[in-house]
Amino acid sequence: MSTVSELFSVLDQSSILIKKLRGMDYLEALCETAENIYNDVIKENEIRDKLEPLYANFFREGLTAEDIRRAFQLAALKGMKKSPHPNHEITPDSIVLLLGHIASLLTGDDPVSILDPAVGTGNLLTGIMNQVKNNQVTACGADTDDLLIKLAYANSNLQQKEVHLFHQDGLKPLFVEPCDLVVCDVPVGIYPDERTAKAYELSDVGEKAYTHFLFIEQGLKSLKNSGYLLYLIPNRLFAEDRDHHFHQFIQDKAVILALLQLPLSLFKNRAAAKSVFLLQKKGEGVKMPKQALLAEMPQFSDEQELRRFMLSLDDWFKHRL
Ligand code: SAM
């Protein structure tokens, strides 16, 4: 059994036991499990004899934060399948790895501050933190969903990552310092809070304000000059920009570096398909790339094609200016 499957098995068995004992949801029990493990305290005295041996070999030699993230991701996915909820989505591992790789190319060896304004379970944010080369990472995340923000807290604690989490609307003012990198798997749809939307230039892109456009504006606002925005956006975003307000907004504020369409097979249906969107906020010394990287990514199952694509991606980053 691999380390990830062993860790998953501990999280899963413990969550099932706590779920039964407390009559709570699996995902809530997963949060309890994580809290027990990282605080090294078992709150469920009634089943201490079962939990203690399970937790005993969770932290082991050679264990990495990535092992824990992957195991936690499997447990979170299981919980989300058991009790589906429209908000409960997790950024899939293959995409986390791709964005993490791009983030590591962008940030090099420098200390880096990262924000995810719709952090969910923290799978994307911590996956990126695990891939950037410098250990000095400051990270912040926000989410409206109380269960998801609890999962993000449990997830980052278990991985021993310091993340400042805010249980709030990511489109309301965020009390964080301007950061080097903003990442997000953006929520898609119509944003219901008209008053908050009014503060955004991009609220007039459609007849009603679209959450996905507002998150791009919020991301750019939260960046330092010359910082990077690395987002997953719905493919239909550009088609929705009928009057080119978005296009003009981006031209004024940023430089488009890349737009990579992810393979359709990764998504439930065509309408849910997404692309990776990479911008650099304007600032001193920011140059236009010789050519923006616009591409359709190969199927992730086609290893040879994917390897070729990743080499050309690395090459583009090296020679982009
Ligand atoms: N990257 C996350 C992960 O790996 O778990 C998944 C993000 S999921 C695709 C989109 C998230 O946006 C959901 O967690 C949802 O609760 C959150 N969301 C929706 N509207 C929001 C808002 N106005 N402010 C903050 N978060 C919001």
Question: Does residue 190 lie in a domain region?
Answer: yes
CA dist., res. 224 & res. 265, Å (int): 35
The two tokens of residue 160 are: 């021993």
Same domain (yes/no): 67, 104: no
Q: What is the pLDDT of residues 256-285, one digit of tens each?
A: 999 999 999 999 888 899 999 999 999 999
Tell me what pLDDT residue 135 has.
79
Question: Does residue 88 lie in a domain region?
Answer: no
- From atom 19 of ligand 1, which residue's Cα is the shortest distance away? 187
Same domain (yes/no): 55, 161: no
146-164: average pLDDT: 97
CA–centroid distance, 265 to ligand 1, in Å, is 22
Local structure of 241: helix, strand or coil: coil
The two tokens of residue 244 are: 């080119």
Same domain (yes/no): 61, 140: no
Q: Is 219 in the pocket of ligand 1 (CB under 6 A)?
A: no
Tell me what pLDDT residue 226 has.
97
Same domain (yes/no): 26, 167: no
CA–centroid distance, 190 to ligand 1, in Å, is 14
CATH of the domain at 118: 3.40.50.150
Q: Is 187 in the pocket of ligand 1 (CB under 6 A)?
A: yes
Q: Are 76 and 30 in contact (CB under 8 A)?
A: yes
246-256: average pLDDT: 97
Same domain (yes/no): 155, 67: no
Same domain (yes/no): 247, 279: yes
Q: Is 123 in the pocket of ligand 1 (CB under 6 A)?
A: yes
Tell me what pLDDT residue 108 has.
86
Q: Categorize the per-residue pLDDT at 100 as very low, low, confident or very high, splitting at 50, 70 and 90.
A: very high
Q: Is 72 in the pocket of ligand 1 (CB under 6 A)?
A: no
212-225: average pLDDT: 98
Q: Which of 30, 62, 82 is the last residue of a domain?
A: 82
For the chain, the domain total comes to: 2
Q: Is 27 in the pocket of ligand 1 (CB under 6 A)?
A: no
Counting beta carbons within 10 angstroms of the beta carbon of residue 224, is it exposed (0 to 12), middle (13 to 18) or buried (19 or more)?
middle
Task: Output the average pLDDT for the chain.
Answer: 96
Same domain (yes/no): 40, 113: no
Q: Is 142 in the pocket of ligand 1 (CB under 6 A)?
A: yes
Same domain (yes/no): 141, 40: no
CA–centroid distance, 3 to ligand 1, in Å, is 29
pLDDT at 248 over 90: yes
Question: Does residue 119 lie in a domain region?
Answer: yes
Question: Does residue 44 lie in a domain region?
Answer: yes
Question: Does residue 306 lie in a domain region?
Answer: yes
CATH of the domain at 46: 1.10.150.470
Question: Does residue 117 lie in a domain region?
Answer: yes
Q: Are 134 and 109 in contact (CB under 8 A)?
A: yes
> To test ligand 1's pocket by mutation, which of 69, 73, 89 has the most ligand atoms within 8 angstroms of CB?
89
pLDDT at 1 over 90: no
- The domain in which residue 287 lies consists of 93-319
Q: Which of 58, 82, 106 is the last residue of a domain?
A: 82
Same domain (yes/no): 178, 62: no
Atom number, ligand 1, closest to the C-alpha of residue 184:
1
DSSP per residue, 276-295: EEEEEE--TT----SS-EEE
Atom number, ligand 1, closest to the C-alpha of residue 232:
9
Q: What is the DSSP letter of 132?
A: S
Percent of the chain with pLDDT over 90: 94
Question: Does residue 87 lie in a domain region?
Answer: no
Q: Is the dihedral of CA 38, 41, 43, 49 positive or negative?
A: positive
Tell me what pLDDT residue 274 has.
97
Same domain (yes/no): 127, 182: yes
Same domain (yes/no): 73, 115: no
Q: Is 32 in the pocket of ligand 1 (CB under 6 A)?
A: no
Percent of the chain with pLDDT over 70: 100
Same domain (yes/no): 205, 262: yes
Q: Is 127 in the pocket of ligand 1 (CB under 6 A)?
A: no
CA–centroid distance, 312 to ligand 1, in Å, is 31
Question: Does residue 12 lie in a domain region?
Answer: yes
Tell me what pLDDT residue 109 has.
87
The two tokens of residue 44 are: 């469920």
Q: Is 92 in the pocket of ligand 1 (CB under 6 A)?
A: no
Q: Categorize the per-residue pLDDT at 134 as very low, low, confident or very high, splitting at 50, 70 and 90.
A: confident
Q: Which of 60, 82, 104 is the last residue of a domain?
A: 82
Q: Is 230 in the pocket of ligand 1 (CB under 6 A)?
A: no
